[in-house]
């Protein structure tokens, strides 16, 4: 299957700082990537769809100014949590569709803890 | 966002037992995917299903695309301790945006050696 690399695996930051999370497709190109958020013992909730070369599409209720997404190349999408607060603490996971677009492959996730 | 109904919510079994879990939707799906997630990791794809009635195996795992296209089942035979984790179904509704999956609520599986 396709490999999606996500970095960092975990990050601890102070309230008010910004945190950038990277998602890379290692052996394939991805014009679209997806960013999910997952709270403990809950399912994955889609936050936004990252589109290479154009603006991201955000799900209802997700603040685009809070969660900045950049998809500057066919293999890299970044999610920046701006002015992070404790309520932003969560597990963030990116994904990308493999060849053919039917299967979705996930990164290993980033655990964000905001103090 | 929309979620699929997945059951059971959790299972605690003995090593060697068989496991069954399922997902149901109120709408027709064109694709069903089953994932396993270990703690602190991203979901890993186990099985993908594309046709109603399709039955697909991956080692001790077998999944089926329901005939009504509104449900899917995952069976694990002869469970082992490393089967522990959270299992998610995911589906793509007919007419849904390409690659936009809806996820189930998850089934937590615990296997006692």
Please count the residue pairs, one from chain A and one from chain B, whose beta carbons lie less than 8 angstroms apart: 60
Nearest to B104 among A43, A104, A106 (CB): A43
Contact B40 A46 (CB under 8 A): no
**Cα–Cα–Cα angle for B35, B112, B49, rounded to 5 degrees:** 20
Model pLDDT, residue B99:
57
pLDDT digits (tens, 9 = 90+) for A27-69: 899 999 999 999 988 899 999 999 998 899 999 999 999 999 9
Q: Which chain A residues touch B90 with a CB distance below 8 Å?
A: 104
User: Distance (Å) from the C-alpha of residue B31 to the closest C-alpha of chain A?
Assistant: 8
Mapping DSSP to helix (H, G, I), strand (E, B) and coil, where does residue A98 land? coil
Query: How far is A113 from A68, CA to CA, in rounded Å?
Result: 18
The phi and psi torsions of A88 (rounded to 5 degrees) equal -85, -10
**Left (φ > 0), alpha (ψ -120 to 50) or beta: where does A49 sit?**
beta
Nearest to B45 among A42, A101, A105 (CB): A105
pLDDT over 70 at A1, yes or no: no
Q: State the pairing for strand pair B107-112/A90-97.
A: unpaired
Contact B3 A43 (CB under 8 A): yes
pLDDT digits (tens, 9 = 90+) for B8-35: 999 999 999 999 999 999 888 999 999 9
Model pLDDT, residue B95:
65
């Amino acid at each position: 299957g396709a490999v999606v690399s996500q970095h960092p695996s975990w990050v601890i930051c102070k309230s008010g700082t910004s945190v950038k999370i990277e998602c890379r497709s290692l052996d394939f190109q991805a014009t679209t990537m997806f960013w999910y958020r997952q709270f403990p013992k809950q399912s994955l909730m889609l936050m936004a769809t990252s589109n290479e070369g154009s603006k991201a599409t955000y799900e209802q209720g997700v603040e685009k100014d809070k969660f900045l997404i950049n998809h500057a190349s066919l293999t890299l999408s970044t999610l920046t949590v701006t002015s992070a607060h404790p309520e932003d603490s969560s597990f963030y996971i990116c994904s990308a569709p493999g060849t053919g677009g039917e299967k979705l492959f996930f990164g290993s996730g980033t655990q964000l803890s905001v103090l | 966002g929309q979620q699929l109904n997945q059951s059971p919510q959790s299972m605690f079994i003995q090593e060697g037992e068989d496991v069954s879990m399922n997902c149901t939707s109120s709408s027709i799906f064109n694709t069903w995917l089953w994932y396993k997630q270990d703690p602190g990791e991203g979901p890993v794809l186990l099985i993908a299903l594309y046709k109603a009635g399709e039955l697909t195996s991956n080692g001790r795992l077998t999944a089926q695309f329901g005939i009504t296209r509104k449900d899917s089942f995952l069976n694990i035979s002869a469970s082992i301790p490393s089967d522990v984790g959270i299992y998610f179904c995911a589906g793509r509704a007919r007419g849904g945006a390409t690659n936009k999956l809806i996820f189930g609520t998850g089934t937590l599986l615990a296997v006692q050696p």
